[in-house]
Structure 1
Amino acid sequence: MLAANREFLTTRQLSAGSAKKPVGALVIGGDYQGLGIARSLGRRNVPVCVIDDEISIARFSRYTTHAIKVPSLREEKQAADIILDLGHRLDLKGWVVYPTRDETVAALSRYRPALAEFFRLPTPAWETVKWVWDKRNTYRLANELGLATPATWYARSTGELPDVTASPPFAIKPAIKEHFIYTTKAKAWRADSHAELRELFGRAAAQVGPEEVMVQELIPGDGRQQFAYCAFFKDGQAIGSMVVRRRRQHPPEFGRASTYVETIDIPVLETMSERFLRAINYYGLVELEYKLDPRDGKYKLLDVNARTWGYHSLGSGAGVDFPYLLFADLLGYPVKPCRGRAGVNWVRLVTDAPTAALEILRGRQDFWAYFRSLRRAGIESVFSSEDPLPAIVELGLIPYLAIKRGF
């Protein structure tokens, strides 16, 4: 029964679509983020097709109708061609497309005209996406809008680094993060001296080119200083939104992904984020990441993700089902404005537990405080009693994920 549900439309979907084939969702990326989308829509009997260029867990969900392994999705033109070809072969005309990675956002945006003729495509045009794809654009616009950002320096070579006169530590980060992450399996590198800064800048420049390397002040604090604003944004306002504290992340200092997140109420982050999104005429799902600087008390914008984010399934527990809001709007169904309630917690145990164990051993995390936080966590990223197979499969995939992504 489970296998049949992954390969064919369910009986209810077929009967509902006897007069007209039901519209479904094409989810690009099948890790826990894509799994959350499949569950959100599948619970409403929306057919879901998951495609990925990696071995992923969403294909094992009872809510996934089709699961397709494809060649690499990292190159934009190739990804757009694969998506469009798959749409024609599986007859997915009019389906809603959900990207889960930044390079897919870029592919959908740059080749939007051709893709939008076949799919319902929420990803905005490049005139909008360019402001979030490249952090140089993001920070420039944020500063023009009066939003605080970390002090950032750009150098065309190691010879220009003496212009960085601030005191360490520094973060060496990419302007276009996917290029750097796939090469290094890291989100950023830490430099504790100017000599180390020169060395790491040279290594980063050799990997992605000096023009994509940023030197940034390292704002003090751990995940407890990390916040985010999440929304389904349309016509200059949030239809659905929530604000969160990204309390723990993996790795602890430069987190590639959040591991423990709680909803919280910080109105100023809503105001700041919506100012930015209105300025770029944004539509769709989005996450804006901030860090609270204890030195001046300012929330400083770090990143903007023009797609679903890893912990988006926290939204449904807080009263904001982000994937379905987008789906309903694109199909012309009425959607009511909603705002996530504070005090709901989400955890990704497969990365949170080992990260916390190391922090406890290093004396940076209290064991009992950690245990109490787990008791408060009402939502686990993958495990679900109604859909248990993805969690079982993920445990077996840990070695693969560690090699493929650095986990």
Structure 2
Amino acid sequence: MASSAVPFAVDRSVPALVVKIGHYPLHHGGVGAIRSLGRLGVPMYAVTEDRWTPAALSRYLERAFVWPTTGSERPERLVEGLLRIGRAIGRPTVLLPTDEEAAVLIAEHADRLAGEGGFLFPRAEPELPRRLASKQGLHELCVKHGVPTPEAAFPDTYADVKAFAASARFPVVAKNREAFERRKKPAVGGTTRIEGPRELMELARRWGPRPGVVLQEYLPREDAEDWIVHGYFDSRSTPLAMFTGVKVRSWPPHAGMTACAYVVENEELARMAAQFVQRIGFSGIVDLDWRLDRRDGRYKLLDFNPRMGAQFRLFESAAGIDVVRAQHLDLTGRAVPGAGQRPDRRFTVENIDLPALLAYRRSGYITPHAPARASGTELAWAARDDMKPFFTMLARSLRPGAAQLYRLWRAK
């Protein structure tokens, strides 16, 4: 959308910086943020792994700061790196984290980044993003505030796993307990379905004396639907932008990143999400994954990402607002125009939706709430006014190491 087409005024004197920690160069969310604000004339900067990532070649990027990180660095080193980038930009800059590590780092070092660095970002309790990114922390908050969530166990020892296996209802799924475990050698490779006690105990022998896993209730895909909620909440946890949609396909199937999704209005789910965010006092962009369990008719919260999701460009209001634009407007003292979300839009990630589509067709799974047609399709990579990221993605995907890059590309 061109800047002349939007019914609001943006402060073009305040740039934005896309912040990422770790190696996942094929990340379309960062490209989406660069385009969203760049089309409005906001100067855009980004942290990139190298000069040949798709984001680094966007026409809307003022400068790429090449800064390879792993996520295992000491926080002090990462903060110093951000401060160096801030000094190079030379003026107050809005921060846009694309992963949990960056969101947690910003929250836990907010005073220094805002004071010494002059960065602009929503302020929440310093420990809250880390707790939300943790499976155990999120589960505890859901229980405390009465938000439905799958039943879960958090074994601390091998004996705890053994006791769970003796009484659990199978199948169950195993996930890494902490979001940051993926930077280390994870206990499990993503969401793992476990059929029975024997299989669980065989896996548990590999987890060591302190299993870093959550064992969670399995919600059968034939009785479930995947919903997503994106929003932006101001300093009082008031929603200035709220959107709901259905995840039609993911890759890997049923357990991975969004490959295709549709906008679908869901007032009940939006209300539940807003109430939860207000109760915990969070401020900023949220990307929530919910699963409708048709067996009991309840929406259950699976994941709370305290940052923008990779598929955020699925959602836009009739006034041209997405969550990234809402944050920039709010932090620069501009009003965020209210308007309903544009209906029946579709979001497709070109390089993973084809294998996802084939896998879903083989399984015969169809999401009931997916519209038959879309009024418009937002592609993750291809854009008429900015094609270099698309071609760069294709080139990198075809390289021999593409499979490894996909495993590292884990943001939703």
Matched, 1:289 2:294: no
2:159 aligns with: 159
TM-score, normalised with respect to structure 2: 0.85
2:299 aligns with: 299
Alpha-carbon separation, structure 1, partners of 2:99 and 2:383: 24
Question: Deviation of residue 181 (structure 1)?
Answer: 6.4
Matched, 1:215 2:215: yes
Question: Deviation of residue 289 (structure 1)?
Answer: 1.1
Gaps of 5+ in 1: 1-19
2:7 aligns with: none
- Counterpart of 1:180 in structure 2: which amino acid? R
Alpha-carbon separation, structure 1, partners of 2:304 and 2:241: 17
Alpha-carbon separation, structure 1, partners of 2:309 and 2:31: 12
2:248 aligns with: 247
CA gap of 1:201–1:337, structure 2 versus 1, over 3 A, is farther
CA gap of 1:124–1:405, structure 2 versus 1, over 3 A, is farther
The equivalences for 1:269-288 within 5 A come to 269-288=269-288
Alpha-carbon separation, structure 2, partners of 1:182 and 1:116: 29
Choose from 170, 176, 188 the match for 2:191: 188
The equivalences for 1:128-147 within 5 A come to 128-147=128-147
CA gap of 1:277–1:262, structure 2 versus 1, over 3 A, is same
- Residue 303 of structure 2 aligns to a residue in which SS? strand
- Residue 98 of structure 1 aligns to a residue in which SS? strand
Question: Deviation of residue 265 (structure 1)?
Answer: 1.7
Matched, 1:56 2:58: no
1:265 aligns with: 265
- Residue 29 of structure 2 aligns to a residue in which SS? helix
Q: Is the 8 A contact 1:27 1:51 kept in 2?
A: yes
Q: Is the 8 A contact 2:107 2:123 kept in 1?
A: yes
- Counterpart of 2:377 in structure 1: which amino acid? G
Matched, 1:66 2:68: no
**Structure with higher helix content:** 1
Q: Is the 8 A contact 1:347 1:377 kept in 2?
A: no
TM-score, normalised with respect to structure 1: 0.86
2:202 aligns with: 199
2:89 aligns with: 90
The equivalences for 1:2-401 within 5 A come to 22-29=13-20, 31-53=27-49, 56-72=53-69, 74=71, 75=73, 76-91=75-90, 93-117=91-115, 118-122=118-122, 124-164=124-164, 165-180=167-182, 183-184=185-186, 186-203=189-206, 205-206=207-208, 210=210, 212-221=212-221, 225-234=225-234, 235-255=236-256, 257-316=257-316, 319-360=320-361, 362-364=362-364, 378-398=377-397, 399=399, 400-401=401-402
Gaps of 5+ in 2: 1-10
CA gap of 1:324–1:363, structure 2 versus 1, over 3 A, is closer
- Counterpart of 2:192 in structure 1: which amino acid? W
Alpha-carbon separation, structure 2, partners of 1:68 and 1:329: 25
Count matched residues.
378
CA gap of 1:122–1:160, structure 2 versus 1, over 3 A, is same
CA gap of 1:124–1:240, structure 2 versus 1, over 3 A, is same
Alpha-carbon separation, structure 2, partners of 1:171 and 1:146: 22
**Which digits, 9 at most, give the CA deviation of each residue in 1:97-125, with x for residues without a partner?**
10001111111111111101121122534
4+ residue segments displaced more than 4 Å: 372-377
Percent identity between the two aligned chains: 24
Alpha-carbon separation, structure 2, partners of 1:374 and 1:258: 18
Question: Deviation of residue 296 (structure 1)?
Answer: 1.2
Alpha-carbon separation, structure 2, partners of 1:47 and 1:259: 29
**Which digits, 9 at most, give the CA deviation of each residue in 1:152-207, with x for residues without a partner?**
0111222222332222111111221231366359322111111111222343x34x
Alpha-carbon separation, structure 2, partners of 1:276 and 1:68: 36
CA gap of 1:223–1:73, structure 2 versus 1, over 3 A, is farther
Q: Is the 8 A contact 1:77 1:107 kept in 2?
A: no
CA gap of 1:308–1:25, structure 2 versus 1, over 3 A, is same
Question: Deviation of residue 375 (structure 1)?
Answer: 7.1
Structure with greater contact order relative to length (CA < 8 Å, sep ≥ 6)? 2
2:3 aligns with: none
- Counterpart of 2:190 in structure 1: which amino acid? K
**Which digits, 9 at most, give the CA deviation of each residue in 1:198-227, with x for residues without a partner?**
222343x34xx7353110111111697111
CA gap of 1:236–1:358, structure 2 versus 1, over 3 A, is closer
Alpha-carbon separation, structure 1, partners of 2:183 and 2:220: 23
Question: Deviation of residue 128 (structure 1)?
Answer: 2.8
CA gap of 1:110–1:198, structure 2 versus 1, over 3 A, is same
CA gap of 1:60–1:273, structure 2 versus 1, over 3 A, is same
- Residue 183 of structure 1 aligns to a residue in which SS? coil
Q: Is the 8 A contact 2:12 2:41 kept in 1?
A: no
Alpha-carbon separation, structure 2, partners of 1:323 and 1:223: 33
* Two-structure CA RMSD over aligned residues (Å): 2.6
